[in-house]
Chain A
Amino acid sequence: RTGCEGHDEL
């Protein structure tokens, strides 16, 4: 899983 699949960090 890399990058663009939903940014779940701040």
Chain B
Amino acid sequence: MNIFRLLGDLSHLLAVIILLLKIWKTRSCAGISGRSQILFAAVYTARYLDLVTSYISAYNTVMKIVFLVASYGTLYLMFLKFKATYDHNHDTFRIEFLVLPCVILALLINHDFSALEILWTFSIYLESVAILPQLFMVSKTGEAESITSHYLFALGTYRGLYLFNWIYRYYAEDHYDLIAIIAGIVQTVLYCDFFYLYITKVLKGKKLQLPA
């Protein structure tokens, strides 16, 4: 565990908490892509199946459970409890265009052709693009609430910090995982445009509004 990994995980945790609190406090999931949230639930489920097969540390186990519970909790709030506030007219990204290529890629490029390993690989590929329906929704409506922007910033920062963690581990521990690294780079790059808008607008107290 190094500082980049810890900050990355905390940023990830913060993102998940911001999202749950936003929905809970405002009693609304307006502006949030249910499709992205479905993809994230699939990501955590596929990746954290190893909860039952391998023990790393209490920290890992607790965090995995938190992400799983938070993710299904978010789905519950969006699709059941506050279903009426779900903005499905603007949430139209076709997720099969993301899921199917990730399945095929996981079957072709993986470390080991075993069920758990392929599911892990699939989750890494899917996570890298899972935010696209949300970004598509923001671009479609042309704006995002500040709280949604904070959520996206924390979520984007998390994998960015993991990139520094992987650079550190390469030198300090001689450890690297090309699948995670390349997917992590893709994931972080997808947020770049949003990061720019966040820093130039939201941090100056303005609403995130895309140029017309």
Give CA–CA (A1, B166) in the complex, Å. 13
In-complex Cβ contact of A10 among B9, B112, B176, B179 (8 A): B9
Q: B120 contacts the other chain (Cβ, under 8 Å)?
A: yes
B contacts, CB < 8 Å to A: 5, 9, 12, 47, 50, 54, 56-57, 60, 63-64, 67, 111-112, 117, 120, 162, 165, 173-180
Task: Check A2 against B63 for contact (C-beta < 8 Å).
Answer: no
Complex interface: chain B residues within 8 A of A1 (CB): 173-175
Main secondary structure of the interface of A (DSSP, over half): loop
Chain A interface size band reads under 10
Closest 5 CB pairs of A and B: A4-B111, A3-B111, A4-B112, A8-B56, A1-B175
Task: Check B176 against A7 for contact (C-beta < 8 Å).
Answer: no
Give CA–CA (A8, B47) in the complex, Å. 11
Closest to B64 in A: A10
A contacts, CB < 8 Å to B: 1-4, 6-10
Task: Check B177 against A10 for contact (C-beta < 8 Å).
Answer: no
Give CA–CA (A3, B177) in the complex, Å. 5
Closest to B57 in A: A8
Task: Check B56 against A2 for contact (C-beta < 8 Å).
Answer: no
Additional 12 contacts, C-beta under 8 A, given A1-B173, A8-B57: A2-B111, A3-B177, A3-B178, A4-B111, A4-B117, A7-B47, A7-B50, A7-B120, A7-B177, A8-B60, A9-B180, A10-B12
Complex interface: chain B residues within 8 A of A9 (CB): 5, 162, 165, 180
Complex interface: chain A residues within 8 A of B173 (CB): 1
Task: Check B177 against A2 for contact (C-beta < 8 Å).
Answer: yes
Task: Check A10 against B63 for contact (C-beta < 8 Å).
Answer: yes
